[in-house]
Amino acid sequence: MAILVIAEHDNASLKAATLNAVAAATKIAAHLSADIHLLVVGQNCAAAAQAAAKAEGVAKVLVADAAHYADQTAENVAALVVSLTNAAGYSHILTAATANGKNMLPRVAALLDVAQISEIVAVESADTFVRPIYAGNALSTVKSADAVKVISVRSTGFDAVGQGGSAAVENIAAGPDLGLTSFVGRELTKSERPELAAAKIIVSGGRGMGSGENYHKLLEPLADKLGAALGASRAAVDAGFVPNDYQVGQTGKIVAPQLYFAIGISGAIQHLAGMKDSKVIVAINKDADAPIFQVADYGLVADLFQAVPELVAELG
Amino acid sequence: MKILVAVKRVVDYNVKVRVKSDGTGVDLANVKMSMNPFDEIAIEEAVRLKEAGIATEVIAVSCGLAACQETLRTAMALGADRAVLVETDVELQPLAVAKLIKAVAEKETPQLVIFGKQAIDDDANQTGQMFAALMGWPQATFASKLVVSEGRANVTREVDGGGETLALKLPAVVTTDLRLNEPRYATLPNIMKAKKKPLETLKPVDLGVDVTPRLTTLKVVEPAKRSAGVKVADVKTLVEKLKNEAKVI
């Protein structure tokens, strides 16, 4: 028996969240003495496969390289994972709970006729896992009765494995092209800043920013100074200040950086769900009673329009 | 074309849930219940497609307790034409719901099935994708824009780092993200009208679906509480503390 982890990548590089998913697989493997296989599905993805081979704890990297995997559509990737699982008898299938992982993995579970266990944050045993429910207001321990455990991994729950490994890389045959979807285009936000999900410091703005213009004018200099990623509350996204991929919270990204700045954010349950595991939280808000101050390590009751430029100046 | 929309009755998003002291779950007694917010967006999108003359009928479907009738009445007050409830007291997990909705879809033969991307109670984010896989249909999850024409759906999706657009052959599945639309409020006349719209009730056994849970919840606990820190007097003190006390910059 072995454990299959599906890599998150963009053909050229491996996404950091994969290393957290491998870490979760390592914890499961310790209960079973099972090998871990890391699957890279893409087109011209040799560079991603090379990076995958360095993930510590991985015994073998499987590479399916074909034109119909260029955009990693859920339908085609899931079909491949299911046929691999039926052939190789994997006991567990894991992937990071990224937009890609969340999109693809439930198809795998349904086709195998098993439950999926979403966004685990801890491994209790080979069949028992802990996952947050109700926006992280409760932690549920669930035991799976299925033959194959299909699991998505919340990155903040597991420290990434190192990259000093040297797994064998094996090419495998591609699965069928189901031809159900065709790719029209992709518009990625261009940014020199670190990725939100992997950043060590995050500067987030909320409704208190007042406008998209204010958001950029005030927060970009601060993020630049700190080498931070930019985030936002759902309220700021709903108000149209920034695109949805900035959103931190229950329905956006779940982050746990070393330092999180919540600026002009009141601290709704939905937002706290996405950032309350940050190591240090700083809140700047003019409302002294804002709920964000109940989770902040350092709170500053101040007008953000004065405090943020002052902060940039003070950081030198 | 017909559109089927799946809706779920969940704890209202404004309620802060409490974990029961015996660790068996969260306390749902006397808690306000509402339609899952992403499902409201799903209903709204379907009703807009009908108003635009693209859809001919919008059918809302829900699975669970008899009380889900309220949620379906809300869906009809928002513009769904009729509703189907698959009623059961069994705790339903996403795979079981996907199978039940598959059975309903096989009877109703919709060209488009819209789901909310996730329910805000179990936060699973699975049912739409599972349904699509069971049907062998294409899917576009986390939709922020939907255009339906000539047997195809062009869907813009929210992905990490931006957006992407897919073209799907119908029949297909779409799951909604926040920016797809802003749902309307149900007006009083529409709430009254919804009471007269047809609501059919089925049982899982009528549909030949085994809904036995695959996952057993062993315990539910509150997460470790984060305690409030200190308020600092000014920006200078804040920077000093971040540098010398927290040592994070």
User: What CA–CA distances, in Å, run from A181 to A44, A68, B165, B171, B233?
Assistant: 20, 10, 10, 11, 56
ipTM over 0.85: yes
The alpha carbon of residue A58 is apart from the nearest alpha carbon of chain B, in Å, by 25
The SS3 of residue B99 is helix
Ordered DSSP codes for A14-55: B-THHHHHHHHHHHHHHHHT-EEEEEEEESS-HHHHHHHHTS
Cα separations in angstroms, A97 against A2, A18, A82, A304 = 21, 9, 18, 33
Instruction: Give contacts of B216 with chain A, Cβ < 8 Å.
Output: 142-143, 145
| Whether residue B108 has pLDDT greater than 80 | yes
Is A188's CB within 8 Å of B161's CB?
A: yes
Number of inter-chain CB pairs under 8 A, A vs B: 251
Confidence tier at A102 by pLDDT (50, 70, 90) = very high
Inter-chain touch A297–B126, beta carbons under 8 Å: no
What pLDDT shows up at residue B56? Answer: 98
Phi then psi for residue A10, to 5 deg, are: -120, 35
Q: Chain B closest CA to A154's CA: distance in Å? A: 12
Tell me how close the Cα of B168 comes to any Cα of chain A, in angstroms: 5
User: pLDDT, tens digit, for every residue of A13-51?
Assistant: 999 999 999 999 999 999 998 999 999 999 999 999 999
CA distance A178 to chain B (A): 9
Q: In chain B, which residues have their Cβ closer than 8 Å to the Cβ of A138? A: 17, 19, 26, 220-223
d(CA A198, CA B195): 50
| Predicted confidence (pLDDT) per residue in B133-169, tens digit | 999 999 999 999 999 998 999 999 999 888 999 999 9
Query: Inter-chain contact B235–A311, Cβ cutoff 8 Å?
Result: yes
Q: Is B57's pLDDT higher than 90?
A: yes
Mean pLDDT of the region B69-79: 98
- B162–A245 C-beta distance less than 8 A: yes
The pLDDT value given to residue B161 = 83
Contact indicator for B26, B32 with CB cutoff of 8 Å: no
Contact (Cβ atoms closer than 8 angstroms) between residue A156 and residue A24: no
The alpha-carbon radius of gyration of chain A (Å, integer) is: 21
CA A25 – CA A158 distance, rounded (Å):
10
Interchain CB contact of A222 with B (< 8 Å): no
Which residue has tokens 């491994």?
A123
Segment 66-85 of chain A within 8 Å of chain B by CB: 71, 73-75, 78
- Contact across the interface for A295 and B19, Cβ inside 8 Å: no
pLDDT at A2: 96
Question: What is the residue-averaged pLDDT of chain A?
Answer: 96
Mean pLDDT of the A73-93 span: 97
- Closest-CA distance, A21 to chain B, in angstroms, reads 17
The average confidence (pLDDT) of chain B is 96
Contacts of A117 in chain B (CB under 8 A): 215
Task: Give me the helices (H) in chain A, please.
Answer: 17-32, 46-53, 74-88, 99-112, 212-226, 234-238, 269-275, 304-314
Partner residue opposite B165 with nearest CB, options A132, A185, A281: A185
Lowest-confidence region among B110-119, B153-162, B167-176 = B153-162
Query: Nearest residue on chain B to A152, judged by CA atoms?
Result: B124
pLDDT at A59 over 80: yes
Using alpha carbons, select from B110, B136, B139, B141 the residue that is nearest to residue B125: B141
Decide if B35 contacts B54 (C-beta within 8 A): no
B78 pLDDT more than 90 = yes
Q: Determine the average pLDDT of the residues in A199-213.
A: 97
> Is there a contact between A78 and B133 if contact means CB atoms under 8 Å apart?
yes
Using CA atoms, how far residue B26 sits from A118, A275, A298, B246, in Å, is 18, 22, 31, 35
Q: Which residues does chain A have within 8 Å of residue B174's beta carbon, measured at their own beta carbons?
A: none
Residues B201-241 pLDDT 10s: 999 999 999 999 999 999 999 998 888 899 999 999 999 99
- Run of H or E residues at A120: strand A116-120
Alpha helices in chain B (DSSP H): 37-51, 68-77, 94-108, 127-135, 188-194, 204-207, 235-244
Gap between the Cα atoms of B249 and A104, Å rounded: 38
| Residue A211 in contact with partner chain B when CB distance is under 8 A | no
| Sole residue written with tokens 């899917």 | B139
Span A219-251, pLDDT tens digits: 999 999 999 999 999 999 999 999 889 999 998
Give the model confidence (pLDDT) of A126-162 as tens digits: 999 999 999 999 999 999 999 999 999 999 999 999 9
**Mean pLDDT confidence for A216-220:** 98
Would you say residue A115 has pLDDT above 90?
Answer: yes
Contacts B177 to A, Cβ<8 Å: 244, 251
Q: Which residue from B132, B134, B160 is facing A245, i.e. has the nearest CB? A: B160
C-alpha A15/C-alpha A32 separation (Å) is: 27
Q: Do A118 and B125 touch (CB under 8 A)?
A: yes
Round to whole Å and give the CA distance between B11 and B6.
Answer: 17
Over residues A185-209, the mean pLDDT reads: 90
Element (H, E) at A125: none
When CB atoms are compared, the residue of B159, B166, B226 closest to A295 is B226
